[in-house]
A and B are shown apart, each in its own frame.
Chain A
Amino acid sequence: MASTRTNIMVCCGTGCLASESEKVLKNLEVIAKARGYAEEVQIIKTGCFGFCEQGPIVKVEPDNVFYVRVSPKDAKDIIDEHIIKGRKVERLLYMEPNENERIKKQEDMPFYKKQLRVALKNCGLINPEDVYEYIALGGYEALGKAITKMTRDQVIDTVKRSGLRGRGGGGFPTGLKWEITKKQESDVKFMICNADEGDPGAFMDRSILEGDPHSVLEAMAIGAYAIGADKGIIYIRAEYPLAIARLNTALKQARELGLLGKNIFGTDFSFDINLKYGAGAFVCGEETALINSCEGKRGEPNFKPPYPAEEGYWGHPTCVNNVETFANIPSIIMKGADWFAAMGTERSKGTKVFALAGKINNVGLVEVPMGITLREIIFDIGGGIPKGKKFKAVQTGGPSGGVITEEGLDTPIDYDSLIERGSMMGSGGMIVMDEDDNMVNIAKFYLEFTMDEACGRCGPGRIGTKRLFEMLHKISSGKATMADLDALKQLAYMVKDSSLCGLCQTAPNPVISTMKHFWDEYVALVKDEDHPQGEGRYVPKNKIGMKS
């Protein structure tokens, strides 16, 4: 058989699928076959490339040509022109806004130039439904190395020294979490992967699971080996059907190859994974709520301590890590702690995936080294603000974070610097606002989300978020008094202080930070009789494009 000379990779992540990338894939296959090129050309369905704004994405290798916004009818030109005649299809190349030149190569595109892919390294590169592609790029070697050549303590030590911190939002050191769970004396322990991604606009976990499911399975097995668990659970929201399907395929393949199951790599380590589906409650991303939900109970958090590491799933020591956290593990094992620790800042190592949304040109998923500045992300990678509008603020950390204004744009970002700025890393949602956005409305938008998503267990979370929302509504309708602003502030701090879990403890952050940075907008709505109501009035599901 002749070796294939060309690979055509078609993004089949959820975003591109929604823009008919599956038809593109099908057409490419049909036309290549009809022209007699089926043998020479391999057409691969891959996970997300991240540049969702420009989807569907098609990449041709080894030519290194990156096509954007490919429609099913473009398939003909890609085969006839590019594959058969070697001529790039100019009109499908990416063109940087404000510049006239089309860019052929991925690495030349500003969107990719400053990115550094660790967690997403296989996304867009391999067929996520083919375990052999994963293996061909070194997959499962980290698992083999960990369980045949390393002790459990060495694995934990490597992860600890790498400086990897939880990517789900909290930023707790992963190695330490593993160590604590390992130290618990119990015959039964669990490794849980938190795939209940819920921040509005954030979809890095989904992308990883869709594009590179084996990396998560491999990492879970490595973690399970380290902590002494033989069972794992991936808690994934049922709204991620594609990720679920790919995970199921991956699980099946891994089991067939003995990479999951009994006596992995011929050792006495056994480990298998089940999927549990969440019903899409934001609060179930909180680890104790997640565990309750796994047990079939109401998805609401418990008071900690005891932490899951001590008493988790059905009372057994349980380690819960996020998808993106796991996706970093195989590389850390293969390349070592020092390699990972060389990236990032003093206290936040490695890379972080962010989901860019809102008033920004390049909506999509980007992975960047920790310590990059917001300015680089928003203006260099994200392509700045559309229509030449002025940047006003960026919300990091999703609904739990706060706004960061112009003056914070040059801070190197990591877990700690964001908290110092009154926001947080969160799971990596990043929503950009321009000069047209009214900040009271922004706060209200987020409060509406957390109010809806609060489980209701604790009083401040159940009633406090509602009252915060109602008060914001009163302000934005121009009916509030200065005393109301004081009451709002007081309530915001009380809810932050008194709520039971992280969801509602952080829910007031958008209020607190917008009051801090944009106090005049609040006052204007109270005092300024001429304040244009149209601007101040709240538009539900508003225009910054997160809920659609």
Chain B
Amino acid sequence: MAGSPEKYKDRKKIQIKINDEDLTVPEGITILESAHEVGVKIPTLCHLDLHDLQLYNKTASCRVCMVELVDGGNQNRNKLVPACVTKAYEGMTIRTDTLRAINARRMAVELLLSNHPNECFTCPKNLECELQALAEELNVREIRWEGERMDYPKDFSSDAIVKDSNKCIYCRRCETGCNEIQTCGILSGIGRGFNAFVGPFANIPMVESSCTYCGQCVQVCPTAALTEVYHVDKVWEALNDPDKHVIVQTAPAIRVALGELFGMEAGTIVTGKMVTALKRMGFDAVFDTDFGADLTIMEEASELIYRIKNNKTLPILTNCCPAWVKFIEHQFPELLHVPSTCKSPHIMFGTIAKTYYAEKNGIDPDNIVVVSIMPCIAKKAEAKRPELTKDEHNNVDIVITTRELGAMIKEAGIEFNSLPDSEFDRPLGETTGASVIFGTAGGVIEAAIRTAYEWMTGETLENVEFEQLRGMEGVRKATVRIGDQDLKIGIASGLGNARVILEEIRDGKADYHAIEIMACPGGCIGGGGQPYHHGNHEIVKKRREAIYEEDRRKKIRKSHENQEILELYREYLGEPFGELAHKLLHTHFEERERI
């Protein structure tokens, strides 16, 4: 966080004193924010300020940031205050370095540790854990409190998220995100006093809740109370099974984030190194989900044009995002006719791999294992949906996250940073700029417009970058002129924003033609399966810039110009949105309970 955040810039200036240093700060600023100005770092744990997303966790509950507020007149009236929420006032004097404050901060962590499993070595958050880091930072050397610890069973019920309540430190970041940003209301405080933790209502198994598995809770959890279901071992098993032909596909958002796990600057594009690493790990073929994305555009743009021309339901909603799909199924079952029926890109890819690719290469589809590497936790559950696995050949067999891929590369002993670049395999490896931008909010709709524009007007689109469709706001409305028609576009990222748009549609107040919705704020670059941003949203912004950079580097930037896609239709599928395409590339939704 910068010294004086933007939000205070027009405020009156006041004088305060922190550890004998005088400083001038804007009114309304917190002690925590001010302290940076004088080079004082106050530790925090529950505090989370993702102002780009309007996600503020201000529970002030961990009490790790206690500082001493000095009373000018009477030392006995000094008191400790939490720096994260206490606002500076004229003449305020703060000391962060008194014995009382240091002890309080250290003991706050000591107490948390006294009720925390001692299993750092085997914990999925080992070395990523914020509590662990604090213990080191605050010099905790002993835990004097032997006593009861929370003892709840782990919840492995879902295919996506593991809940280990014993590691819950009750910071409520996940709850704030789940309720205020995603408006799902799945997570909330349960129990009271010592037994309090965060979980779904009445602590029902996650799978029985209306959780969308967006994974934003996992992304902000400081410990390992919420993590993804681990599928690394399944991948190793498949790779070591000589009978299996193991195909891997990587989502667009992976290549701009994976480098972070190897100490690289956020936003470093590592596509080539990633492909090399996957090949060295022993995958039989390394493909790009972008191919599936281009295929999605072919189908979705066709569906959009079909709906416009035939006066069918408008707007069309993109449905690449499985968390968003589950959201509408639970929350707006009356609107299930609105989304596009297209499968999501990686599922389309899996289908093509086990049909077209299998036939073309003479491989028994039963022996093909499709592994998806996704920035996403919900994709794990999506791949298990019955309607997507009904024809015995799971379209996608295993989904692992960016983080799991990083862990596998490390485990394989591959020195990622010094790897040479490689290209994706062919023929399902050719991709376009259009499919790359699927990785960020607004990208899917922009890609669809690039294609729809040319199809509807018959003209060549010169400038493919639609600035009006780009931006970090949660809800964006824009108009794109196509021929003699104005296409009204809505873009929402974050499920709370999606809810706003869906309510407009439900109430008949929306006049959009097409709407893109992504569950994670910022789109897939900010996905629940991405490297932990630890509260620094600048990282997500840099990934976004890298996505657009990758788009600009591409020679082909429109999906319908992808030669391998065109060949696929020519050789196998027939017409976009045609009969076989319908059978293989489209799906349906079902109404779900809201709990």
Contacts and interface: CB of A to CB of B under 8 A. Distances in A.
A and B touch in the complex (CB under 8 A): yes
A198 to B, nearest CB: 13
Nearest to A297: B188
B112 A459 contact: yes
A544 interface: no
B79 A464 contact: no
Contacts of B82: 303
Contacts of B107: 460, 490-491, 494, 498
Interface in A230-287: 281
Contact of B196 (A455, A460, A487, A491): A455
Interface in A472-497: 487, 490-491, 494, 497
B5 interface: no
B194 A498 contact: no
A413 interface: no
A454 interface: yes
Contacts of B66: 497-498
Of A453, A459, A466, most B-chain CB atoms within 10 Å: A459
Given A303-B85, A500-B61, A460 B192 contact: no
A58 interface: no
Which one of A451, A455, A463 has the greatest number of beta carbons of chain B within 10 Å?
A463
Contacts of B80: 497-498
A455 B85 CA distance: 20
Contact of A462 (B64, B146, B188, B196): B196
A454 B194 contact: yes
B193 A456 contact: yes
A452 interface: yes
B59 interface: yes
Given A463-B112, A467-B145, A497-B80, A455 B192 contact: yes
A463 B107 CA distance: 11
Nearest to B171: A459
A467 B111 contact: yes
A490 B82 CA distance: 19
A467 B63 CA distance: 16
B103 A490 contact: yes
Nearest to B113: A463
Interface in B65-85: 66, 79-80, 82, 85
A456 B111 contact: no
A400 to B, nearest CB: 16
Contact of B189 (A300, A490, A499): A300
B191 interface: yes
Contact of B194 (A300, A466, A491): A466
A311 interface: no
B233 interface: no
Contacts of A281: 192
A195 B504 CA distance: 42
Contacts of A460: 63, 107-108, 111
B112 A298 contact: no
Given A465-B193, A470-B145, A497 B104 contact: yes
Contacts of A463: 111-112, 114-115, 145, 194
A298 B64 CA distance: 23
B147 interface: yes
A454 B195 CA distance: 10
Size bracket, chain B contacts: 35 or more
Given A465-B193, A498-B80, A458 B114 contact: no
Nearest to A305: B87
Interface in B41-93: 58-64, 66, 79-80, 82, 85, 87
B103 A454 contact: no
A144 to B, nearest CB: 43
Interface string A498-520: 11100000000000000000000
A190 B44 CA distance: 35
Contacts of B145: 463, 467, 470-471, 487, 491
A114 interface: no
B170 interface: yes
Contacts of B437: none
Nearest to B108: A459
Contacts of B144: 487
A464 B111 contact: yes
A480 to B, nearest CB: 11
A50 to B, nearest CB: 33
A161 interface: no
A421 interface: no
A499 B63 contact: yes
Nearest to B189: A298
Nearest to B109: A459
A466 B144 CA distance: 13
Interface centre among A451, A453, A460 (most CB of B within 10 A): A460
A456 B195 contact: yes
B63 A462 contact: no
B169 interface: yes
Interface of A: 281, 298, 300, 303, 305, 451-460, 462-467, 470-471, 487, 490-491, 494, 497-500
Which 7 residue pairs are nearest across A and B when measured between Cβ atoms? Answer: A456-B196, A470-B147, A303-B60, A463-B111, A466-B194, A454-B193, A467-B145
11 contacts: A303-B58, A459-B62, A463-B115, A467-B111, A470-B147, A494-B103, A494-B104, A497-B104, A498-B66, A498-B80, A498-B107
Given A459-B112, A494-B107, A498-B63, 14 more contacts: A281-B192, A298-B189, A303-B60, A305-B87, A455-B192, A457-B170, A457-B196, A458-B62, A460-B111, A462-B193, A470-B146, A497-B66, A497-B100, A498-B108
